[in-house]
Amino acid sequence: MIVTEWHSSELAEIQEVNRPWERGGHYCLWNQAILPALTRKTTGKYFNIDFSAPVIQFVYESPVLKPWNGQPALTQGRVWASFETENKAFEKWYNAVVRWIRKNFIRDLAVGHDRDSIGPAAYEWFRTGGLLLPNFRPPLTEAWLASASVQNQHRTDLAHN
C-alpha cells in the first residue's frame, strides 16, 4: 500500500508520502494489487485523484493541538471510499480496513461522536483533558459549548470509575 496526497498543485504523478501522520492532509491509500496504476487528473489548477477510483481517502486536519475555547482540541479525521464501480477485491480490502479500525479503536458514545471511532492515543489524550471536535472547528455557539461541556463531564465521570 502507498500513501500519497489526494491533491497536488504541481504533479499528476503519484509520489509516496513518508510519515503522513506527522502532518495533516487529504491522503489517498492506494493498494497496488487492486489498482496497478494511479494518476491524478487535472481539475482546473490542481491535480486530483478521481473520487470514483478504488482507493481509500484518509483526511485529517492536523496533528497539531489548537485550543478551542481555551481547551486543547483535536479535530476528527475521516476514512472514506466510493463504490461507484463494483470491485470485489477493493470491497474486501476496504472492509478489512474497517474491521481493523473497529477492533483497534474505541467507541465512546458519550463523547458525542456516536458513529465514530477514536484512536487509542487520541482517547487517552481526551481522558487527560483534551477535547475531541468534529472534522471542523465549530463556532463558539451555545450548542457547541454544551457539547464540549458533555465531554468534560464524561471525562470527570471516567476518572471516578
What pLDDT does 57 receive?
A: 94
> What pTM did the predictor assign?
0.83
User: Which carries the bigger pLDDT value, residue 15 or residue 62?
Assistant: 15
What pLDDT does 26 receive?
A: 92
114: confidence class by pLDDT, cuts 50, 70, 90: low
Element holding 113 (H helix, E strand): none
What pLDDT does 115 receive?
A: 62
Residue 61 pLDDT > 70: yes
CA 138, distance to chain mean position in Å, is 17
- The one-letter amino acid code at 123 reads Y
What pLDDT does 13 receive?
A: 87
Average pLDDT (29-58) is: 93
Number of H helices, E strands in the chain: 3, 10
Backbone φ and ψ for 42, nearest 5 degrees, come out as -75, 130
Q: Whole-angstrom Cα distance, residue 40 to residue 19?
A: 21
